[in-house]
Structure 1
Amino acid sequence: MTTTAADPRARFASLLAQHRGIVLKIAHGYCAHQEDRLDLIQEISVQAWDAFEGFDPARARFSTWLYRVALNVAISQLRRQQLRQRHHAPLDEAPLPADEAATPGEQQHALRQLEAAIHALPALDRALMLLHLDDYDHRQIAEVLGISSANVSTRLHRLRQQLRARFDPMP
């Protein structure tokens, strides 16, 4: 059997490969352990394929649609894990280095702390922060998450304040 551009499996595989960074980013943002990330990546791929028949390029870009599917799968998986009393690694409470001339090791430590802080956020706030860090504008974030642009703006402002309070050694 030959695959053509009209073949939905080939089209889906091509689109998923082009946008695999979205799936990887969501998996990394929602899973602390590599095995869990791999499970989430597989579940996102399966759920995206199951829903692909309903994808309408006239309504949304594939990346927006995939973000929505991936976030829904990740949030659902997180809820199931919480029901099973699964806990994540504790956060490192040390402040981020304030020195702009930080060594690569210090930068890696700071990045790990930021990732841990994002990982500790509630599911919707985590999704919002990941989309924001991926340079989606407020309208796009609102579309993916199904909330208003004003709500996106308010939540981002509060999240920035929380992160500043957590990492800024000067009150």
Structure 2
Amino acid sequence: METIAAMTGNDRHQAFSSVLQQHAGIVFKVANTYARLPEDRADLAQEIAAQLWHAWPKYDTARSVSTWMYRVALNVAISHVRVQALRNRHDAVPLDEDLHDMAGALAPDHESEQHLRLLQAFIARQPPLERALLLLYLDERPQREIAEILGISEANVSTKIGRLKQRLRDEL
């Protein structure tokens, strides 16, 4: 397969557009996890897309495109959280009511809805790396892929997941 960097401008743009459209859920999932307000989520999604485009020529086609996209998207989102924390002098970025409403549609009974709300609150209180880890874990990504995306070892992924699960059990 031709490398991305070797493609002509129009071919590179078409290939990127196709990949972005195919995997847009990754961009929106990360933006929804890391930004509270709808306009902030839109800005973050746009910034993620811009950074993906900027990194596109360096994408290694031998690797999974979703892994690459998660890695870029999470790095952008974590930087976004750091900037917001400096501006607002707080680390928490709670999930918005719209997410709760969408999640409520998936959880029809009151008990499930309450558990989902508690999980969302727990995730929102986590530092950026742990939030990313939870997002990927709940998205049922393999530990090997999580490790690659976050730039940590598989053993570290396993340990952090275990600790997060225990913390969640302790809080609930």
TM-score when scaled to structure 1? 0.82
Query: Of 104, 108, 122, which residue of structure 1 is paired with 2:109?
Result: 104
| CA separation of 1:156 and 1:43: change in aligned 2, threshold 3 A | same
Match of 2:138 in 1: 133
Q: How far off is 1:28 after superposition?
A: 1.2
Match of 1:83 in 2: 86
- 3-state DSSP of counterpart to 1:157: helix
Contact 2:93 2:124 in 1 (8 A): no
Contact 2:123 2:131 in 1 (8 A): yes
- 3-state DSSP of counterpart to 2:88: coil
- 3-state DSSP of counterpart to 1:42: helix
- 3-state DSSP of counterpart to 1:53: helix
Q: How far off is 1:89 after superposition?
A: 6.8
Q: How far off is 1:151 after superposition?
A: 0.4
Question: In the alignment, residue 30 of structure 1 is paired with which amino acid?
Answer: Y
Contact 1:138 1:152 in 2 (8 A): yes
- 3-state DSSP of counterpart to 1:84: helix
Question: In the alignment, residue 52 of structure 1 is paired with which amino acid?
Answer: W
Equivalenced residue count is 152
Query: Structure 2: which 5+ runs fail to align?
Result: 1-7, 96-106
Q: Write the distance in 2 (CA, Å) between the matches of 1:68 and 1:90.
A: 22
Match of 2:5 in 1: none
Contact 1:22 1:67 in 2 (8 A): yes
Query: Of 12, 18, 21, which residue of structure 1 is paired with 2:22?
Result: 18
Query: Of 61, 66, 69, which residue of structure 1 is paired with 2:69?
Result: 66
Larger helix share, 1 or 2: 2
Whichever of the two has the greater Rg, that structure is 1
TM-score when scaled to structure 2? 0.81
Match of 1:9 in 2: 13
Moved over 2 A (4+): 86-91, 102-110
Q: Write the distance in 2 (CA, Å) between the matches of 1:139 and 1:166.
A: 28
Query: Structure 1: which 5+ runs fail to align?
Result: 92-101
Amino-acid identity (%): 53
Q: Write the distance in 2 (CA, Å) between the matches of 1:115 and 1:37.
A: 16
Contact 2:34 2:93 in 1 (8 A): no
Pairwise CA RMSD of aligned residues? 2.1
